[in-house]
Chain A
Amino acid sequence: MPTRPNPFRLALTHLILLACAGLTVMPVVLVLAASLRKGSTLISTRLFPGMDELSLAKYHELLTQTPFLTWMLNTVIVSVVASLIALVVTALAGYAFARFRFLGRKNGLMAMMLLQMFPAAMAMVAVFRLLQYLGAATGGVLGLNSLLGLSLVYIGAGIPFNTWMIKGYVDALPRELEESATIDGATPTQTFLLVVLPLMGPILAVVAIFNFIAPYSDFIFPSVVMFEESKYTLAVGMQSFISGNFSTNWTLFAAASILGAIPILVLFFALQRFLVEGLTRGALKG
């Protein structure tokens, strides 16, 4: 590592970094600019609206004259339900794999790893058929066009990865507290609920956020499973803005992009350190 920086190389470094940063933010800036226009079309010879053209009219139109808020609510319901159920079942399973020794433990962990390899989208036809059956069996509570049914799709796909993450975290927790709780007469379930669970906070937050972001960001399953406009998630709803005629809805779509991205953007940056660690730790083990 050079002890004294070469000023030319340093300047060149900044030049390259700035150019790349510019290209990175460019699409977002262009869309943000489009969302602040009054007009509805893509057609304009000016890239950025002048000060006199700036307006929040598109945001107003989006919130009052389109089902955007319904789609947002649908998306949040699906994501929260998927996230909470995944959290409860994988916290239990991850803890069991980390702390108990039992017949089938190793095979169970291996099976989880193998199941993780099946791309969720591979089963889209089967998921569609199963939801059809479930809908008939439950009178529509869980079937096609049901928010609850859609959230089920995500829970299954995420269980193996999340269980492994939680197991890894609990493996690294010291056992002394649990042992002294046991000596003090706590039952295993009390030990789990009162001693270990509070210590699992950080990893549970990560799992909850992963399992919120994944359904929120998915397009493929809601597009297969949701047919009614009132049941669309953001991904499918926003696509319906542009699939007809992009040029007439561009500014409206731009406003939807900004509002739709904000919740995930905020979560991501607030918890960036945890998320990045969680995602890259496994990858960097080698």
Chain B
Amino acid sequence: MRERNSGGLPYLYLAPALLLLALLSLLPNLYSVWLAFTNYSLNHYSDYSFVGLRNFARILQGPEAATFGRVFAWTVVWAGASVLLSLGLGLFLAILLNNAHVKGRTFYRTIFILPWAIPAFISVMMWQGLLNTEFGAINLLLANLGLDQALATIVGLFTNEPVATPIAWLNTPGWSHIAVLAVNVWLAFPFQLTTCLGALQSVPSDVYEAASVDGATAGLQFRRITVPLLRSALLPVLLSSFAFNFNQFAAIYLLTAGGPAVPGSEAGATDILITYSYKLAFNLFQYGMACAYAIFIFILVATLSGVNFKLTGAFEDAN
């Protein structure tokens, strides 16, 4: 590569981006780290001051600790289950679609990509209406098909109490967890499907042909060629999707607003860290605490991204 002595010109080209980055990304982030160490809140709106680690101590011990533990655990379950379910569905459909004998593959792909092409806030609000207990189309549909009683009976076998119909999708702790996950899988599987299909199609077909000639069965080909290939291609996707779902604010907030309420806690049954941080800031006006929560989110996301960068060798691209 021919080195060019470019003098000050590159800095001139970079200046606008760096200036905006410093003002609009670095500064707010540093400022929010600083606020996490203050008592900035409605009670200390203009006279807030540095309080050291007090917010973090409050989160990790004392009455708030139980809420933090519960919200944190659900955040991990939410992100993990969302990724595994949407990846599982996406991979399954990709394998079905990666078969040259299946006609109408373009048609199916166009349909399956639809949830990705609609702004998420619109889809989630649509689902909120469709899942409405008394008036929602989902319960109406289940009732018309005679499935609501059956579903309630089956679920009732696993819970100790009988399940009421029409099903209160968004207003009972158990159903609301199922509902937010189901909606998020609907939102997320098109991306996973597209990624899996890309990975599957990146194997030249002569690899499979050679394996066939050597007498490998379809099952063996899948285990020895497809799975190893997918594992290396999908691990980074898995990690970044996990990090993305950690902060999947709209899917929770616009569906249940974090609810239903949990007695004795400000955080509802489906609140994840980011929605709870939002509530702390803009409903309860505890800005300092909200920022302290955000730091926990950052540590988790940064760890995941760090692992991801290492895996993909992204840092080497900087050369």
A residues with a Cβ closer than 8 A to B are 1-3, 5, 10, 13-14, 16-17, 20-21, 23-25, 27-28, 30-31, 34, 41-45, 47, 85, 88-90, 92-93, 95-97, 99-102, 105-106, 108-110, 112-113, 115-119, 121-130, 152-153, 155-157, 159-160, 163-164, 168, 175, 179, 188-189, 192, 213, 216-220, 223-224, 234-235, 238-239, 242, 246-247, 250, 253-254, 257, 260-261, 264-265, 268-269, 272, 276, 279-280, 282-286
**B114 & A25 in contact (Cβ 8 Å cutoff):** yes
B276 at the interface (CB under 8 A from A): no
Cβ–Cβ contact A239 & B254, under 8 A: yes
Question: Contact check: which of A10, A163, A219, A253 meets B102 at CB < 8 Å?
Answer: A10
Report chain B residues within 8 Å CB of A17: 93, 96-97, 102, 108
Is the pair A217, B119 in contact by a Cβ cutoff of 8 Å? yes
Do A110 and B318 touch (CB < 8 A)? Answer: yes
Let me know if B236 and A27 touch, CB within 8 A.
no
Q: A276 to B132, Cβ gap below 8 A?
A: no
Q: Is B31 among interface residues, defined by CB-CB distance under 8 A?
A: yes
Are the C-beta atoms of B122 and A238 separated by less than 8 Å?
Answer: yes
In the complex, the answer to whether A238 meets B121 with C-beta atoms within 8 Å is yes
Q: Are B111 and A24 in contact (CB under 8 A)?
A: yes
Closest Cβ–Cβ distance, residue A140 to chain B (whole Å)? 19
Give chain A's interface secondary structure class.
helix
A246 surroundings in chain B (CB, below 8 A): 128-129, 132, 135
- Verify B120–A159 contact, CB threshold 8 A: no
CA separation between A156 and B28, bound complex, in Å? 10
Q: Using Cβ atoms and an 8 Å threshold, which residues of chain B touch A261?
A: 118-119, 122
Interface check B10, CB cutoff 8 A: yes
The interface-forming segment of B59-67, B79-87, B136-144, B149-157 is B136-144
Evaluate contact between B31 and A123: CB separation under 8 angstroms. yes
From A93, A122, A253, A260, name the one whose CB has the most chain B CB atoms within 10 angstroms: A122
B309 within 8 A of A: yes
Q: Give the Cβ gap from B232 to chain A, nearest Cβ, in Å.
A: 6
| B175 interface hit (Cβ, 8 Å) | no
**Given A20-B93, A124-B278, A279-B191: A93 touches B14 (CB 8 Å cut-off):** yes
Looking across the interface, which residue of chain A has its beta carbon closest to that of B300?
A119
Q: Which residues in B have their C-beta under 8 angstroms from that of A102?
A: 6, 10-11
Q: Which residues of A contact B282 (CB under 8 A)?
A: 223-224
Chain B residue, CB-CB nearest to A259? B122
The one of B119, B186, B235, B294 in contact with A216, judged by C-beta atoms closer than 8 angstroms, is B119
Q: Once the chains bind, are A239 and B195 in contact (CB under 8 Å)?
A: no
Interface residues of B in 205-259 (CB under 8 A from A): 205, 208-209, 212, 218, 221, 232-233, 235-237, 240, 246-247, 249-250, 253-254
Q: Are B194 and A276 in contact (CB under 8 A)?
A: yes
- B168-224 contacts to A (CB < 8 Å): 186, 191, 194-195, 198-199, 202, 205, 208-209, 212, 218, 221
Which A residue's beta carbon lies closest to that of B302?
A: A117
The 10 closest A-B pairs by CB, nearest first: A156-B24, A42-B135, A93-B17, A96-B13, A100-B10, A126-B32, A268-B117, A123-B28, A156-B25, A5-B101
Given contacts A42-B135, A90-B17, A246-B129, contact A105 B115 (CB under 8 A): no
* B50 contacts chain A at the CB level, 8 A cutoff: no
Is the CB–CB distance between B298 and A118 below 8 Å? Answer: yes
Distance between Cα atoms of A119 and B248 in the complex (Å): 11
Assuming the A-B contacts A21-B112, A47-B144, A113-B314, are A283 and B20 also in contact, with contact meaning beta carbons closer than 8 angstroms in the complex?
no
A153 to B25, CA, bound (A): 8
Encode B121-135 as 1/0 by CB contact (under 8 A) with A: 111011111101011
* Most chain A CB neighbours (cut-off 10 Å) among B26, B117, B208, B295: B117
The reply to whether A1 and B212 form a contact with Cβ atoms under 8 Å apart is yes
Contacting pair A285 B31 (CB below 8 A):
no
From B23, B120, B317, contact of A156 by CB (8 A): B23
B287-315 contacts to A, CB under 8 A, are: 287, 290-291, 294-295, 297-298, 301-302, 305, 309, 311-315
